Structure 1
């Protein structure tokens, strides 16, 4: 048996082991979920009052009713639109603002206290302000979602730029590299893992921002639908709304799965998150 055959067999065994491990994880996850749902169903009523914690059956019936009547799709489109638009706006603004400040460290030190003050303001508290400024339409929801996203992307992009050794920049400058060449060949590749990691973790933040706006003041969206269910004391409706929002965030995360593969070649990145 030659070396190529041994290598091919090793690769085949490794792939088979990976597939077996994935099947094990999948079956284990489904098993845990089935056990939790079964225990929940049995506990709702005899042990826990349905008013406080509805049963999975009632939640499924509520979701089926929303799907049949079209409420889920109607309200969901507004929430998804606000979350996606806010996500794109906040991410783009975070990178664009961090770009010059990451290159000009003195300028960043000058304006850093102002960003820290703005960063310390709870994003939820900005909801009424945006609604006061921009009315009750889609715009304030988008801006609230963008506000949730902006600072995480901004801070991590600046951190990616600043972690480049100053000596490396000075050396390439002496060798004749322009600022544009430094940005393209050194700064951006260095900051890219930080940017990608921030983009991954801000998807739920964008959804939180959009739903926050709908909770404060809206007549459409999944946040409104959940709030309306709470107003009518429908525990099943509230939990159905929460599960719908969770499912949307999960699908959005799956759409960004290629970012995980793009980060595999990089070392683990410590992404800074906000407390707001």
Structure 2
């Protein structure tokens, strides 16, 4: 018997803007997607995957390796097979259809990372509607790695906020960020120092803004680990955030525990 439904929000982005013009390759990270989702399924939760356009998320090739599964080839193959073949990963819905069918039936929501959410999810009005619904009801809401940047979609003018970040207009950004639902929350997110090797070796250019600064400007209390790529998860009220790819198992455990607490009290 299933305990409840969890909405997993994926990205459709495959390119991300870099300073000076042009774009670099991006996508959603495999381990950040499947490790928490498999944990949710094993714990008895039903998964509904939705993206802005209703197509399956694009997996960033740099994440499609055993290295991101602790070097465990069997764990990598299991994760890859789950993403490729499990019905929950292939019956993809649009965010709009999920909203139209009603959000009350969902116990929680999870947004994995990779840089892709920086492109589409952080400025997606439908995701904003979803997040405001979950926030108002205090339902478990989890974001991993770059995923926490998608929490900014809850802003009424999320598109304009992102544009202000790209333009480097801090004053305008601060004005647009007023009354953000998650202002004052303790969070973590992929750090500026962790971003550097991605910029140098994958993007071959710098992003227009880093994730911690973008969230602090909106009012988040962001902390990141001093040691890059070490696991780090913060839970504050209904919000659970993980810093980097190696936070995949810890955030999965915290999300399952939060959902179970709600299920028991219901």
| TM-score normalised by length of structure 1 | 0.21
More helix by share: 1
TM-score by length of 2: 0.22
Q: Which has the higher strand share?
A: 2
- Higher RCO structure (Cα 8 Å, ≥6 apart): 1
